[in-house]
Amino acid sequence: MAEIVTGPGGRDHDDGVDSAPPTRTWVAVIVATAVFYLAREVLLPIAVAMVLAVIFSPIASRLERFVGHFVGSAMVVLAAIAAVGALGYFMTIELSEVAIEVASYPTNIATKLSGLQRITPPWLQRIERSVEEVQLQVERANPVPKPRKPPVIVAQAMPSPVTDVLKPVIPLLSAVAQMVLVIVLLFFLLYGRHDLRDRIVRLATRARIAVASQAIEAAGEAVGHYLLLFSMINLGFGIAAGTVVWLLGLPNPAFWGALAFVLRFIPYVGALTSAVLPTIVAFAVFPGWAKSVEVLGSFIIIDQLAAWLLEPILIGRGIGVSPVALLVSVMYWTWLWGPTGLLLATPLTACLKVAGDYIPSLGFLAILLGADSALEDYHDYYRCLLELDQTGAHSIAIRYCDEHGLEQMFDDVIAPALIMMGEEHQQDHISEANQQFIVDTTRELIVELGNRYSKPRIRGRLRVLGVCAPSESHSIGLQILLELLRLDGTAASFVGENKTADEIRDYVKRFAPEVACLSCTTTDCLPAAVQLIKEMRADSPHLTIIAGGRAALTDPAALLKAGCSQVYASRTEARRAMRRMSFQRHRTVAITDAPAQRKIS
């Protein structure tokens, strides 16, 4: 019954609800952005290596089963180097040939441009002439004075042949150094990925962040599987695009296929951009407009087939990234890291989204980047209660209950919302009136949802009475337990809130329960709870008394000494114990009734 006791929602604060203030989150995002921008020369190769390591991790894991850990990682790195190098060299050579090919058709280009001018509507031509006349009048009214030539001073420059030789080579050397750094990092990330995972878990533990090694491994596998399949689909798109332009007769089809493969990593606009360039070449090379339209239409059709047919079949739902969040992410990473950030935007967004799904402390990333808001219904439920919208809160809880069940609704909606209420109240963000309204509405809702389910009618049901310690104000967790016990076939009843010890004892005598569940969450109520147990034990010696709650767990020995049978640490344990008692009770009744049934027969 710890969930009865551990706060108004009946759960501890370690159940995945992000309690970090929004201000702290946004400050962290701003600081991270500044670090990413200022340290981009160092972080960019690391980011590229990490993305490649995530993509190739599934392949490396499969190779390691046959060739070992070191050789498998080395083979993946060598294959990646060969593929990227061949692609870069091939596209550089082919791009030069495309430029030469287009330049050899000046007559065709001039003819089409003059044709475009002839078919320009008259009203558009008048607008163009008007704009040109306005520009001429502005230039005449404000003539630009000719700048005076400064005196020429001839200075003898010191000859620096080393600088002149190295100046054009420095950018190339910098690019080669970054490539070597990416390759080395990629190998060590693949080779030491398990050790790196364990180190991250240890660092998170020291920082008191709840991160499990299984969560990191599952997150890596999920995003790696997604990115690998996405890369395969893009490769298929590039092959199909190259085949189509080859059938249409466009020069250099292999180049257009490779370009389509690379650009499709850019979300939403990459495929269209890869179609525009060969369309322009078709405009320059072929007479008429038919080939240009065919090239553009073919690229669009292939992209739509990949997006609506292949991706749902191979990837399925994917990782659930919001389209708007992905567009914002593309702009963000492009602004930070330029063209490389544009290509890395989709993989980085996928990594951050999956990290938010599996690591509780990064849950805000799943909220910001996620496309599915069904798991965040407790936020909507809490918002409706703050707005005093009792009807809206009821509809959210009922819908979630219909989809996931009563217990899941208690765990995923009621408990997190009440935990948020407690935190907000401690920080003086909500008033006493708001808190009381939320508590009262939730109590009514628990009873209403419990009444929507039919309770099994079992002969000789176990009689359970829910009791709060005198002066105890937290009873929602106990009410949740009693509703679940009713679903299990138990005859459960609740004494009520704010009852004195004498009122509770009178109720016990009239109801004559077999089990009394005592909830004690406030430390100040612990002495009264101990005294109540003694008095109930004296009134009913055969009564089984169990207890739970935060205060009860602080001193279980005192409760056991007073006459309590067991102090349970969670609602699940208490419910399991009730099921065992109910089963024993049912079996006892069945054995007792057996001789009477034989006499009747």
For 549-589, the pLDDT digits (tens) are 888 888 888 889 888 888 888 888 888 888 888 777 766 66
Q: Which residue has the higher pLDDT, 431 or 111?
A: 431
> 158: pLDDT confidence band, cut at 50, 70 and 90?
low
| pLDDT on residue 216 | 63
**566 - beta bridge partners?**
546
165: tokens are 């030789």
Q: Which residue has the higher pLDDT, 433 or 141?
A: 433
Which position has the token pair 């027969």? 601
Domains plus CATH for the chain?
39-99+172-352 (no CATH), 373-449 (1.10.1240.10), 455-594 (3.40.50.280)
Nearest to 494 by CA among 567, 476, 540, 585: 476
**Distance, CA of 294 to CA of 31 (rounded, Å):** 49
Tell me what the mean pLDDT of segment 364-389 comes to: 73
Pick from 242-246, 250-254, 323-327, 512-516: least confident: 323-327
Q: What percent of the chain has pLDDT over 90?
A: 2
**Distance, CA of 597 to CA of 593 (rounded, Å):** 6
pLDDT tens-digit series, residues 525-549: 888 888 988 988 888 888 888 888 8
Query: DSSP states of 555-583 as a string?
Result: -HHHHHHHT-SEEESSHHHHHHHHHHHHH
Q: Indicate the residue type of 142.
A: N
Q: Which residue has the higher pLDDT, 288 or 456?
A: 288
Q: Beta strands of 101-150 (E only): which ranges?
A: none
Pick from 175-184, 190-199, 263-272, 572-581: least confident: 190-199
Phi, psi of 198, rounded to the nearest 5 degrees: -65, -35
Q: Indicate the residue type of 72.
A: G
Residues in the chain: 601
224 with 55: CB under 8 angstroms?
yes
Pick from 101-105, 114-118, 181-185, 344-348: least confident: 114-118
pLDDT averaged over the chain? 77
Which letter, b or e, does each residue of 23-53 get, where b requires 16 or more Cβ atoms within 10 Å of its Cβ?
eeeeeeeeeeeeebeeebeebbbebbbbbbb
| pLDDT on residue 319 | 67
Q: Count the Cβ atoms, other than its own, within 10 Å of residue 440.
A: 11
| pLDDT on residue 240 | 93
